[in-house]
Structure 1
Amino acid sequence: MAERPILLVDDDTRLLRLLALRLESEGYAVAVASSAPEAMQRLGEVRPQFVLADLRLPDTDGIALLTRIQSHSPGLPVAILTAHGDIPDAVRATQAGAVDFLTKPVDRDRLLACIRSHLGEGLPPRADWRAGVITRSPIMEALLDDAGRVARMDSAVLLTGASGSGKEVLARAIHLASRRSVRPFVAINCTAVPADLLESELFGHRRGAFTGAQSDHPGLFRAAEGGTVFLDEIGDMPLALQAKLLRVLQEREVRPVGETRTVPVDVRVLSATHADLDARVADGRFREDLFYRLNVVRLQLPPLEQRREDIPLLVQHRLAQLAEAGAPRRLYSAEALEALVTAPWPGNVRQLFNAVERNVALAPGRIIGAALVRASLGERTAGLASFDEARAEFTRNYLRQMLELAGGNISRAARLAGRNRTDFYKLLSRYGVEARARKHLGDLEPDESVRE
C-alpha cells in the first residue's frame, strides 16, 4: 500500500495527526497539508492516489480545492470531509466530482471502506500494464500516474504529441490498466485507410454493400466489443465520417454500411493526434461537438528531446528486441551512446529505434562505434551543445548585449558588467567579439573604444 500514498487536507492539526496514525497503522503512506496551497504543493511532490479534504479551509473551501485538483490530476479520487454534514453540502460536493462525502467525527470503518473501494478500482488488472513504456523520466512518470488514474474510468482520452513520441504505446498501457484489459485492443490509423473505405473499416458492412464487399465485415468497433478502440491521427478523419463517429459515441451503436439496423457496441474510445485540434476546430476542419466528446481527458506526450535520460534505456530495449528477432547482438561504445543522447530527434522514439536498427545492420563488429553513429546521423549530431560550448555562447551574447546597452562605449559596458575596462577588453578578445563588429553599436569615443 505504501506505493499508493494518501493526501489529507485539513486545518485541524489534531485531526490530521489522528487520521494519519489510523491510516499508517493500516499500512498506507500518508502526506498531510493544512491549506489549499500546501495541498497543491504536496500533490506534485508525493503524487497521491487518494485525497481526503476538509470542506472548510482557511483560504478556500474543499470544493474549490477539488476543482483545482481535478485540473491538475484528472481522475484522482477526492473525498470531502466536513463537520457540517447537511444535504446541500453533500449534493454540492458530489456535483463537483467528489467520490464520497464523509462527516466528522470520522468513522474509522467508513473511512477505510471509502479508501479501499477507490484504490481497489485503481489497481491495474495486470501488474505489467506499463511495461511497454520504457522510461525513468520524471515527466513520463507523472504522465503514467495520470494514465493509471484515467484507466479506471471509461472516459474518452485524447493523446497529443509529436509523431513518433509513443501515443499508441501509451494507449495500450491505458487499456491494460483498465477493467477492459481482458478484451481486445483494436488500433487503426485514420490516415492509413482510404477515406471511402474508412467507414466500412470502422463500422463494418454487409455483403454486396459496395463493389468488392464479397462478405459481411463486422468492423473494428464490433471486433473490439468490451475492449478499447484506438483511433490514431483522428485529426485527419474526413468531416462526413466525423458526424457518423459522433453518433456512434452518443448512441453507443453502429450501423454497418448497407445495413438498415443498428448494432449496440460497448467499447472505450481512445484517440490521438499530432495536429492542433483546437486550431482545426476553429477553421472548420474538425467538428467542435466531436472534439468535446473525444477530449474529456487530454494527455500530452513529451518529445524525446525533453526526456533524453530515457535514450540509453530505449537503446538497450531496442537492441534486445532486435536480438530476439534474430539480429546479431551489438553494444554501443560509450562515445557512440553519448552521440545518440546528444543528437536531435525530430522523429522522436520511432526515429531513434530506426537509427539503432540501421546501426546494428551496418556495424562490422560487436561494438557499435561513434563514427558509425555520426555517419548515420549526418549533421544532426549537433543537437545538444557541451557545457563549455553553451557557456561560451552565453558569454558572447552577454558581451554583445552589454555593448549594445552602452552604445559601443567600452568603459561604460565594463561598468555595466561589473568588470574593469582591461578585463572586459580581454573577454571581448577571448570570445571573438571583434572591434569591427562593435562599431555599428554606437558612436565610439576615441579614448573609450577599441582601436583597430
Structure 2
Amino acid sequence: MSRGRIAFIDDEPDLCAAAADWLEASGFTVTTHTDPRRALADIDTATCDCVVSDIRMPGLSGLDLLERLHRTDPDLPVILLTGHGDVPVAVKAMRAGAYHFLEKPYDAEQLVSILDNAVEKRRLVGEISRLKRQPDDLEARLIGVSPAIVELRRSILHLADIDVDMLITGETGTGKEVAARALHDFGRRRAGPFVAINCAAIPETIFESELFGHDKGAYTGAVGAREGKLVFANGGTVFFDEIESMPLALQAKVLRVIQERVVEPLGSNRQIEIDVRFIGATKSDLRFESEAGRFRPDLYFRLSTIDLALPPLRARREDIGLLHTVFARRAAERFGLPMRDPSPAMLADLGSKSWPGNVRELKGHAERSIIGIAPLPTDSPAVESLPDQLARFEAGIIASALETANGSSARAAELLGIPRRTLNEKITRLRLRATA
C-alpha cells in the first residue's frame, strides 16, 4: 500500500524532480506539475491524499490554488512552500485553510513527517465520511482498516447465513456482542428477535426460570405462568454473553436445549419446540475451564464447532486513530459539544498505548476527551507483542545515537553503521526527530 498519493506543484522542474525522487523513495506515490493551472485541472481530489505547492508561481499562486481546491474538497490537505520567508503570507495561508507551511529550502525529512500526518488525517476523514454514508453497513459497526478487522468482517458475512451454533472468543472490550448482533442482523434471522443473556448478571436462583420460563405454581411465589427467554427468541438468535459464568448445574439443561431444540418450562410436562441459533461468548479459555472441571466439555465442544476469535486492539494499532475519532464525533453529537479532532501527537500517543480494555476503553477515552477530562491512560503491565518490543528497542537505540550525534541523522547513521537513507526511513516510521 502506498504511503500516500501526493501532488507536488512547483514551477521549477529541478525542484519537482528532486522532490519526486525523495518522496517516492520514502514510499509515496507522486505526480509533479510545473504549471499550476494544468495541475488544478489534473488533480483528482477523490484519489489525492495531499497537495504540496509553491506559493509564488506565474499564472496562479499557491494561495489561489488552495482556495480553488478547497471549493471542490475542503478536507484536502494542502502544504504550501515559499522561498521568501514571508510571515504575513504564511499567516494568511494558514487562515485560508492550509494544512502546513514550510519555508524553502525545506528539510526533506520534515516534509515526509508532515505528509505522514496529513495523509493519516485525510484517510481518517475519508473513512468517517464513508461510514456516515453507510450507517447500516457492517464496516460502520466493526470499524477499521487493519487486516485483522477486514478478515473478521469477511468471516461474519460468510457465517451470517450459515445457521450453525458458535462461540465468539476475545478479551474484554473487543466487541463480542457487536459481532454477535452483526451475525444476526446480516443473516436470514434478522427479522426475528436477538436475545442477549448476560450469564454473569442473572442470579443463580432465578437463572433457570429466566431461560426456560415456568407455569403457575411451579415454585413458591410463581403466581402466574411466564415465558422464558429461549421461547421468546423463537425464530431469532440467543446470545449467551460471559457463558463461562453460567451455573454448572444449568449447563446440562442448556446443552439439551441446544441439541434437541426443545424447551420444557419449570413445573410443566409440555415441551415447546423452538427454532433458535445459539451464540456463546467468552473471554476465558473454555477448553482449559472444561479440563479444570469448571465448564462442561460437551457444551464447549457443541458450541466450538465455529470459534470466531476477535483481535485485541494492540493487534490492530492502525485502527486506533480512526476508532478514537469516530467515537469522539459520535460523543460530540450526543452531548451537543464541539468536536476537537486529535492532533498528530495525540494520535501517536494513542497508538503507543496497550489498551487492556480494548475498544471499550478507547471509546471511554474518546468520550472523556470531548467532555474535557481525558488524560491518556498509562501503559498496563500487559505483555507487548514481539514486533512491538523490537520496535521499542530499535527506537531506543536510534534515539540514543541521535542524542550522541546532537540530532544529526548523518552522524547518527555513521555511529550505527547503516546508510543515512535507511536511518531516515526508520526515524520517520518510529516517529523520532532529527535536526540534520
Q: Normalization by structure 2: what TM-score?
A: 0.56
Establish whether residue 315 from structure 1 lines up as the match of residue 317 from structure 2: no
Q: CA deviation at 1:260?
A: 2.1
Q: CA deviation at 1:217?
A: 2.2
Residue among 141, 148, 151 paired with 2:160: 151
Q: Distance between the aligned counterparts of 1:234 and 1:321, measured in 2?
A: 31
Three-state SS of the structure 2 residue aligned to 1:325 is helix
Establish whether residue 299 from structure 1 lines up as the match of residue 308 from structure 2: yes
Q: CA 1:153 to 1:392, structure 2 compared with 1: closer, same or farther past 3 Å?
A: closer
Residue 91 of structure 1 corresponds to which residue in structure 2? none
Q: CA 1:386 to 1:294, structure 2 compared with 1: closer, same or farther past 3 Å?
A: closer
Residue 373 of structure 1 corresponds to which residue in structure 2? 375
Q: Distance between the aligned counterparts of 2:281 and 2:158, measured in 1?
A: 18
Report if the CA contact (8 A) 2:328-2:369 is conserved: no
Report if the CA contact (8 A) 1:340-1:373 is conserved: no
Residue 415 of structure 1 corresponds to which residue in structure 2? none
Residue 242 of structure 2 corresponds to which residue in structure 1? 233
Establish whether residue 335 from structure 1 lines up as the match of residue 345 from structure 2: yes
Residue 324 of structure 1 corresponds to which residue in structure 2? 333
Residue 412 of structure 2 corresponds to which residue in structure 1? none
Q: CA 1:389 to 1:249, structure 2 compared with 1: closer, same or farther past 3 Å?
A: closer
Q: Distance between the aligned counterparts of 2:389 and 2:230, measured in 1?
A: 50
Q: CA deviation at 1:342?
A: 1.3
Q: CA deviation at 1:381?
A: 11
Cα distance per residue 1:290-338 (max 9 Å; x no partner): 1121111111111000011111221122123223323413222222222
Three-state SS of the structure 1 residue aligned to 2:321 is helix
Unaligned runs of 5+ in 2: 1-134, 400-414, 417-436
Q: CA deviation at 1:244?
A: 0.3
Cα distance per residue 1:47-77 (max 9 Å; x no partner): xxxxxxxxxxxxxxxxxxxxxxxxxxxxxxx
Unaligned runs of 5+ in 1: 1-125, 364-371, 397-422, 425-452
Q: Distance between the aligned counterparts of 1:329 and 1:351, measured in 2?
A: 22
Q: CA deviation at 1:224?
A: 1.3
Q: CA deviation at 1:142?
A: 1.1
Q: CA deviation at 1:389?
A: 4.9
Report if the CA contact (8 A) 1:339-1:373 is conserved: no
Establish whether residue 136 from structure 1 lines up as the match of residue 139 from structure 2: no
Three-state SS of the structure 2 residue aligned to 1:270 is strand
Q: Distance between the aligned counterparts of 1:379 and 1:129, measured in 2?
A: 31
Report if the CA contact (8 A) 1:231-1:270 is conserved: yes
Residue 252 of structure 1 corresponds to which residue in structure 2? 261
Q: CA 1:316 to 1:211, structure 2 compared with 1: closer, same or farther past 3 Å?
A: farther
- After TM superposition, list the pairs within 5 Å mapping 1:372-411 onto structure 2: 372-374=374-376, 377-378=377-378, 389-391=392-394, 393=396
Establish whether residue 273 from structure 1 lines up as the match of residue 282 from structure 2: yes
Q: Distance between the aligned counterparts of 1:127 and 1:395, measured in 2?
A: 46
Residue among 362, 379, 382 paired with 2:372: 362
Residue among 357, 361, 370 paired with 1:351: 361
Report if the CA contact (8 A) 2:143-2:149 is conserved: no
Residue 26 of structure 1 corresponds to which residue in structure 2? none
Q: Normalization by structure 1: what TM-score?
A: 0.54
Report if the CA contact (8 A) 2:332-2:370 is conserved: no
Report if the CA contact (8 A) 1:208-1:214 is conserved: yes
Report if the CA contact (8 A) 2:167-2:308 is conserved: yes
Letter in 2 for 1:132: R
Q: Distance between the aligned counterparts of 1:314 and 1:266, measured in 2?
A: 36
Residue among 201, 204, 209 paired with 1:200: 209
- After TM superposition, list the pairs within 5 Å mapping 1:420-439 onto structure 2: none
Letter in 2 for 1:173: A
Establish whether residue 217 from structure 1 lines up as the match of residue 226 from structure 2: yes
Report if the CA contact (8 A) 1:129-1:176 is conserved: no
Q: Distance between the aligned counterparts of 1:144 and 1:388, measured in 2?
A: 29
Report if the CA contact (8 A) 1:319-1:329 is conserved: no
Residue among 281, 295, 315 paired with 1:286: 295
Q: CA deviation at 1:373?
A: 3.0
Letter in 1 for 2:194: F
Flag the structure with more relative contact order, 1 or 2, with Cα contacts below 8 A and sequence separation at least 6: 2
Q: Distance between the aligned counterparts of 2:348 and 2:288, measured in 1?
A: 38
Report if the CA contact (8 A) 1:165-1:348 is conserved: yes
Three-state SS of the structure 2 residue aligned to 1:154 is coil
Q: How many residues align?
A: 265
Cα distance per residue 1:242-275 (max 9 Å; x no partner): 0000110111011122222111111000111011
Q: Distance between the aligned counterparts of 1:395 and 1:336, measured in 2?
A: 22
Q: Distance between the aligned counterparts of 2:311 and 2:260, measured in 1?
A: 34
Runs of 4+ in 1 over 3 A off after TM superposition: 210-215, 378-389, 392-396
Q: Distance between the aligned counterparts of 1:278 and 1:199, measured in 2?
A: 24
Three-state SS of the structure 1 residue aligned to 2:368 is helix
Report if the CA contact (8 A) 2:138-2:153 is conserved: no
- After TM superposition, list the pairs within 5 Å mapping 1:168-183 onto structure 2: 168-183=177-192
Report if the CA contact (8 A) 1:130-1:173 is conserved: no
